Structure 1
Amino acid sequence: MQFSKLALFAFVSAVLGQQNVLSVQDYADFQISDGVAGNALAEVAAKFPVEEFRANLAGVSADDLAILKAARQTAENAETDAGGFNEAIEAAGGKNTEEGARLQVGKIKNKVLKLELFSLLLEIEQAQGQDRTEDIADKQKKLANNIKIDEDAAGDASQSVDFQGDSAP
């Protein structure tokens, strides 16, 4: 009988008492791109228990890790895939139009979501035995840049896209 790494890790997590915190959600439920700019990082923390995970990185369950990975990938897809921000901004006539500007602010907020989840994932993997030092530094640099862009645009209207996706592993 052959077990997948995820199944084996889930079993070990259950034995060690790791609790699942997350449940699968549609992108529309975990996206943060509506509203206004300025607090994207806090909005991510309101959707995902980032600080709870960071308090015990090695103890994050395999199920939660898989959901975080899927959510991060969906956030990235919402930026680049058909129906995502890049396509919507182009269809709106670019980021210098009124609608395009709102979408661009939403895209930056989405990047904060994607990069915060990516950083968290790498930190979890590092705590669970994989060397992710260089990747963590790279993602945190990109995250800091996008947080600054979001904060510099504080109060500007932000618009999401109607992207179909979810956090199912």
Structure 2
Amino acid sequence: MRFTISLIAACAALAQAGVFSQQNYDDISISGGVAGNAQNEALAVFGALDLNDLANVDEDDLDFLNSVNQIANDAETDAFNPAIEAASGEEADALQRGKIKNKVLKLTATVLKLQAQAAQGKDVQDKLDKEQTKLNKNIQQDEDEAGNASTFLSFDATTD
């Protein structure tokens, strides 16, 4: 009987453990390739998360989602913006499409974190509404450029 209770407790602890591990920005970036499918690409990055059970998202996973937001934001300001400013023509356009895909990744992480916090009883609805509006705008911009080249930029950062 004690073995069964211990086994159940151990399994419950494993079920609640975080599903994400530390990642390099370059490994989770979706900025390269072509525009038009950023929403699905971003969701694939977070595929280990059970979207049907956001109330039980582990604190470590909330921290991971927050850190994805932070490093993607840093990539936007420290890599994409200067590269776009220095480029012209199609090169600048492809970099802009990569930046938009990066923003979809960043905002998807934020929205998922806020949805989990809301499911856990936190009052984050106003912030969630604002971030969802931003995400929808960037998804639409990505879809408007569907099929056009999107530039990947390497960026040296790691999630928590």
TM-score, normalized by length of structure 1? 0.82
Partner SS state of residue 154, structure 1: coil
Q: Structure 1 stretches (4+) deviating beyond 6 angstroms?
A: none
Amino acid at match of 1:42: N
**Aligned residue pair count:** 149
Partner of 1:34: 32
Partner of 1:45: 43
Partner of 1:164: 156
Partner of 1:67: 64
Matches within 5 A, 1:114-153: 114-153=106-145
Partner of 1:102: 94
Alignment partner of 1:20 out of 15, 18, 21: 18
Partner of 1:57: 54
In percent, how many aligned pairs have the same letter? 48
Structure 1 residues 1-20: Cα deviation after superposition (integer angstroms, max 9, x where no partner): xxxxxxxxxxxxx7594132
Q: Is the deviation greater in 24-33 or in 68-77?
A: 68-77
Amino acid at match of 1:38: G
Structure 1 gap segments, 5+ residues each:
1-13
Q: Rg larger in 1 or in 2? A: 2
Matches within 5 A, 1:69-84: 69-81=66-78, 84=79
Structure 1 residues 10-38: Cα deviation after superposition (integer angstroms, max 9, x where no partner): xxxx7594132111110000000000000
The structure-2 alpha-carbon separation of the partners of 1:108 and 1:67, relative to structure 1 and needing over 3 Å to count, comes to same
Alignment partner of 1:89 out of 84, 90, 102: 84
Matches of 1:116 and 1:64, distance apart in 2:
14
